[in-house]
Structure formats: C-alpha cells, structure tokens
C-alpha cells in the first residue's frame, strides 16, 4: 500500500510517541545500554520511523527542511544492516534526546 505524506507523518508521530511514552516511564539509559530486550524494544519503532521517513516524497522533505530527514532514514538502514555494530550510546542519545524533539517537530506538521 502506498501512503500519502500526511499518512506517513501520522505514522511517524504515532511510533515516536509510543516509543517515548514507554521508555520515558519504564527504561533508563543504563538499562538501554545493557539490556538486549530493551534494545530490541526500541529498535522496532526506530526502524518504522526511519522507513516512513525514507518514503516521504522529496518535495515534502524539501518543504519541511527544518527536520533533518536524512539521518533519520539512515539510522533505520544502519540498524537493519549493521545491527551487531550498533553503538548503543548513540541510540540512547537518539531515544532520550532526539525523539522528544522529533515529536514536537512532527506535531507541527500534522
């Protein structure tokens, strides 16, 4: 199924909010750095966010260039294709620092 940019933005928002709601209430950084189950838990929403970003139209991404779309999509590719090489310090920064910012930016687009 081909989604519209608006549908993709809604999905990005929902994935990001769900991820943030869970980790902010249940997981601290040190756990994320060491617990493989928590790592698995956060990677799925990150994959999904990256996949939706990847398929946003170029026009949409150019029109809304306040969000740096390339690293978001790139993170998905990195997690999928180099999972064993994942730097969990970086992922914890993404989860705890960048996801809340992304939520706010994407909310403005909805």
Residues marked as catalytic? 76, 81
Q: Which pairs count as long-range contacts for 11-14, CB under 8 Å and 24+ apart, including other chains?
A: 11/48, 11/52, 12/49, 12/52, 12/53, 12/102, 12/106, 13/103, 13/106, 13/107, 13/110
């Amino acid at each position: 199924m081909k989604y519209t940019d608006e549908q993709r933005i809604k999905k990005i928002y929902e994935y990001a909010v769900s991820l943030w709601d869970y980790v902010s209430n249940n997981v601290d950084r040190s756990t994320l750095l060491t617990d493989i189950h928590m790592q698995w838990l956060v990677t799925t929403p990150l994959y999904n966010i990256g996949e939706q970003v990847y398929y946003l139209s170029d026009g949409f991404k150019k029109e809304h260039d306040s969000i740096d779309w390339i690293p978001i999509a790139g993170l998905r590719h990195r997690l999928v294709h180099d999972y064993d090489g994942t730097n969990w310090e970086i992922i914890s920064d993404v989860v705890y620092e960048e996801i809340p910012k992304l939520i706010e930016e994407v909310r403005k687009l909805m």
